[in-house]
Structure 1
Amino acid sequence: MKNRGLKRLLLALCLLASPALAVQPDEILADPAQEARARTLSRELRCLVCQNENIDDSDAQLARDLRLLLRERIVAGDTDAQAMAFITARYGEFVLLNPPATGANLVLWLAGPAALLAGGALAFAVMRRRSRSSEAESLSAEEKARLETLLKD
């Protein structure tokens, strides 16, 4: 009986341990449609302090400022693209969690696949070289003759 109660307690604690959003109640917009847009867009913006966290999940003051700025732009009537362009113009492309693959960013987008291809080509070349230099070529004449007699038996 104790085991069952313990399992229930652990399950309840796991359900309560879901990640909490850093959006404060005073930041939430009155219009649910605008708030949904703000939440969607804020998941695409990087916290400049935390760097690998979106502004919706960050407790940093700068992330709060970005959330408020984004909501101001949405309330002002900006489209999603206009609001993102405004923030990108002010903070640079670094603020985007998924920057566009253009210009200098193209090098970053292509560096990973290029390194993977180069590593694969290097591994292929090494394996090919190893297969060409077989063990039989490195044996002396006596060893080759003994190997042939062993293989015949």
Structure 2
Amino acid sequence: MNIHEYQAKALLKTFGAPVASGVPVFKAGEAEAAAAALPGPLYVVKSQIHAGGRGKGKFKELGPDAKGGVRLAKSAAEVVANANEMLGHTLVTKQTGPAGKQVNRLYIEDGADIARELYLSILVDRSVGRIAFVVSTEG
């Protein structure tokens, strides 16, 4: 099953899981309204493609110094600038291979001032027929 992050978070929310507020965006013109709908003042602009490694990925059409597919924005204007730079462009990650995937949607999420970031994954280990939890400091 391939669903985007914003779809997974909406599903988790229906079951009462605490999820940060966010708004999906399909056109750059929707980015400012999305930021206005969130508390701010920090926002996270996230590319929505079916691949991991989005934060470390690079856009084919942008220079080598350009930021990846997950970006922190400190104002609504930065959200809009990032949306303009990301939507419609091709994000290349370790999982996409050199062809990359076109970013056709973003998820604008309410940012948080965090001291430490951890990643959690729940997966099925078919070799032993059990569920496994993986926790890491890097995604």
**Structure showing the higher helix proportion among its residues:** 1
**Structure showing the higher strand proportion among its residues:** 2
Q: Which has the larger radius of gyration?
A: 1
TM-score of the superposition, structure 1-length normalised?
Answer: 0.21
TM-score of the superposition, structure 2-length normalised?
Answer: 0.23
